[in-house]
Structure 1
């Protein structure tokens, strides 16, 4: 397939509002989706991510706000005039049409010539590696093959924007992981702007250039996956995107450095603009994999605790450690574990100040 003519089309969402009765599905949402990016809309069920995708597609009409594609206002255009590709959660294949018939359906609607349809369908099926199944019907395909047909159908008319509504959610875990790699590679080859909806945090982290985290109809933070994971702004983001441990207390300064006083402990925090003034409350978030654990010999720095539970996960050991600051979750690489877990074992936890992140309380 050739590079789409509209491949440079980025999207600009400006102050979108959508209400259903008294409930806001979208609440003043603004977002930049760069041209050619793989942008994921991530959030829990009912957060508004699918409403935002359907507004971009044209199936949902917002009360106020604008949607721009390549700088052109498309807010009032019907879906068929937007020329966006769409992959639905259930694939929505026509059972009475063959694979080739399904893929070519959008071109027939556009009254393309028979020869052009044949050429484009062949190219689209080759792109998703299904040329050998062109004459089969959807009922004769696996879930993964049906997903590829839906992709080919969405790409056959060479859109500049591809919208994907949880397209992998119905697949088993191993197949989903394989298709994540394939989708990412397909995006890199085509240069099309992908807008992808999911509630799966690992899926979003592994596939995206940009993630917009949506909660209760609002974009609470957007950015590159590493930025959101390592520098979450709020308690919700730190907890939703992965798992975090929390230290809650009062900010103080010791030896010129900021610390949090909590339960008789002084916990170092990173020097950054987010640290509140001395005497103010603060929450420090620490990722489980950034904490080191060793048997407690009563010597050296660190937070003392006792092992309350653990799980062997193959590559890692997941531990729960009871401390005066509450229960901590710790993930250890199995091959580097410095101890063999025993019930009630005395341990000491430690982490560098840079491992923590001050987050805003939005619970």
Structure 2
């Protein structure tokens, strides 16, 4: 392989090995992890990247992006963390599917309707303009909520009425059936957009060859991390980054960089519509919990890749609009299906942030 990729390039002084690694990944049929030390650099005596090395790094990244679909290098860092953004191809329609009860509730003494706030933030902050919003709304929704949503969403908004008992999975599946987009963006009704380019950041990864799903960085209202990807380890499931303060870099700067992950939460997940349909959508057997775990594991079982990006940031006021309790039968269904894959720590070989009960 070393000879096949023409070895080290003297035109990348200070970044020869980084450039070699990028070229090798472009030529490789697969990339595997080996639990052996094959090469080591003495970081104690290695000087930090100087201006020449940083410029070489930028050149290596630009060449890599040009060879893999295009993009821009926004910054290169002496700490090895570089901000690159891939180019979105075309202007595909994104169908944002939001299941909601459509009612005001009291939160900390204040009446709020989360779905109204969510739609307002989508409309006010999103720079991507080719989208529709499919609201799967309960038949008991308050009329004032419907009126406010119509006023905010306008012609982009489509209502699908739900009149059966709560089942998050079935509601989302119904919304996707009414969606026209080439991509579906599953979104909880209790979110608020932070990053204006949130759709572009996820879409650029969803357009990668073999991509099946892309997730985002979610924060609790108290500015701690709620989700930086799924972690399946030791037979348990949790969120990467849980409870870490916003701005924390994480192990090996893992909260700062786009990564392949075992899964992402359906609170905000973008998928090619054809992949959602291929894997059968969300299972109705998991009405409230672990339906997204099942969806992710079905997606990777079909050999699609799942990515997470820190460049799409949202607040997630988790479970403010529904009963968040986990039922024993949901644990039974999910683990009977996928217990044999709850050891996929190669995507995130670090301890859980919060002990799993």
**Does the pair score TM above 0.5?**
no
Q: TM-score range by the shorter chain?
A: under 0.3
Bigger Rg over Cα = 1
